Amino acid sequence: MFIIETYSTAVFLCVITMLCWGSWANTQKLTTSTWRFELFYWDYSLGILLASLLLAFTLGSAGTMGRGFLADVAQAMPEHIQSALIGGVVFNAANILLVAAIGITGMAVAFPVGIGIALVLGVLVNYLDQPNGNPLIIFGGVGLITLAIILNAWAYGKRSSTGMSVKGLLIALVSGCMMGLFYKYVANSMVLNFSMPEAGKLTPYTALVFFAVGILASSLVFNTLQMYRPFQGDAVGFVDYFQGSLKDHAVGMLGGAIWFIGMAFSIIASEKAGTAISYGLGQGATVVAALWGIYIWKEFEGSDAKTQGMLKLMLAFYILGLGLLIYAK
């Protein structure tokens, strides 16, 4: 299977993760204006699973290093498969809440608040589980990112003081707390040495497949529930899904594939970078999403100079914090 050899390559893959995770939500804006997120999400989940299988049977099965996908599945112990599945379930619940928050507050707010909290919690949880890198520098970076989250929430409060804004921030907060936990389950299911994998655990490519299965399976509960009890708008049914255009379905799968590429690169990079740094750098997606929301979708257009200044300071703190995470190793 494909394995990276250097820390610099790991950082490069994490940068791609950041771009993928910060950009996939834009695909929903490419669908028909009447195509609801709840319907989009079925194709998004399916896109993640299809991309995971494609990667498992290509990069995950090629070469002489490590263990091929099918051989890895055959020897995997149930508790490690279960851990990867739980990771998918936890991520899915968090992601559905995140996108609901995006619909209420916009990308420039939901991502920095939700994913920022996920980054802080995720770095802490993953570092305590697998210490790797200078802790003072890592948590210094996390501190700067925390300041960025506070500034972003403040800027949003300046823009809107309605009850709906509070609801969106609370949903983003809950999403972030859950999002910070999913990566640990996937990492714990995997071997520590990718080139010489220990028995019973999963190679990264196999772990990603079971993670994707957990997402799609839990969507049968989570997404069905939000279809009939949506955060916004009227309920939709499964009949509505089959009335979607080919473009709507294709774009949804594309969104899932883009997010999964980011996840796969983060997991592949985790052996050399460490899970805390790999996850933390990937969640720099917050900066990417904020840039999309602020400068492309104009979500803060018309804000006063003070609010614009807070947004710029928020981005600066995020970038400095991410730089410290890179330097920590």
- Give yes or no for residue 109 having a pLDDT over 80: no
CB 84 within 8 A of CB 186: yes
Q: What is the pLDDT of residues 118-172, one digit of tens each?
A: 888 888 888 888 888 899 999 998 899 888 878 877 776 676 544 446 788 888 8
pTM: 0.86
CB 282 within 8 A of CB 17: yes
Taking residues 197-215, report their average pLDDT. 97
User: DSSP state, 202?
Assistant: B
Residues whose CB is less than 8 angstroms from the CB of residue 234 and which lie 6 or more positions away in sequence, other chains included: none
Instruction: Identify the pLDDT of residue 100.
Output: 82
Neighbours of 233 (CB within 10 A): 10
Q: What does the CA dihedral 320, 322, 325, 329 come to, rounded to 10 degrees?
A: -90
Instruction: Identify the pLDDT of residue 328.
Output: 87
Instruction: Identify the pLDDT of residue 22.
Output: 85
Q: Coil, helix or strand for 300?
A: coil
> What is the token pair recorded at 12?
């490069």
> What is the token pair recorded at 236?
């939709």
Q: Where are the domains of the chain?
A: 7-327
CB 165 within 8 A of CB 157: yes
**Pairwise CA distance, residues 26 & 289, whole Å:** 9
Mark 244-256 as b/e (b = at least 16 C-beta within 10 Å). beeebbbbbbbbb
**Pairwise CA distance, residues 33 & 68, whole Å:** 43
Q: Name the nearest CA neighbour of 102 among 93, 112, 117.
A: 112
Least confident of 7-11, 54-58, 236-240, 324-328: 324-328
Instruction: Identify the pLDDT of residue 108.
Output: 65
Instruction: Identify the pLDDT of residue 114.
Output: 84
Residue type, 123: V
Highest average pLDDT, of 27-41, 96-110, 299-313, comes from 27-41
Is residue 140 classed exposed, middle or buried when 0-12, 13-18 and 19+ CB atoms within 10 A define those classes?
middle
Q: What is the mean pLDDT of the chain?
A: 89
Confidence class of residue 48 from pLDDT cuts 50, 70 and 90?
very high
- Give yes or no for residue 7 having a pLDDT over 50: yes
Confidence class of residue 314 from pLDDT cuts 50, 70 and 90?
confident
**Pairwise CA distance, residues 107 & 103, whole Å:** 8
Instruction: Identify the pLDDT of residue 164.
Output: 45
E strands in the chain: none
**Pairwise CA distance, residues 162 & 152, whole Å:** 16
- Give yes or no for residue 209 having a pLDDT over 70: yes
CB 4 within 8 A of CB 272: yes
Taking residues 215-222, report their average pLDDT. 97
Confidence class of residue 312 from pLDDT cuts 50, 70 and 90?
confident
Residue type, 39: L
- Give yes or no for residue 67 having a pLDDT over 90: yes
Instruction: Identify the pLDDT of residue 163.
Output: 45
- Give yes or no for residue 181 having a pLDDT over 80: yes
Instruction: Identify the pLDDT of residue 220.
Output: 96
- DSSP per-residue codes, 124-191: HHHHHHS--S-HHHHHHHHHHHHHHHHHHHHHHHHH--SHHHHHHHHHHHHHHHHHHHHHHHHHHTB-
Q: Coil, helix or strand for 200?
A: coil
Instruction: Identify the pLDDT of residue 322.
Output: 83
Sign of CA dihedral 71, 72, 73, 75: positive
How wide is the angle at C-alpha 182 spanned by C-alphas 205 and 30, nearest 5°?
A: 80
Q: What is the pLDDT of residues 232-281, one digit of tens each?
A: 889 999 999 999 999 999 999 999 999 999 999 999 999 999 888 898 88
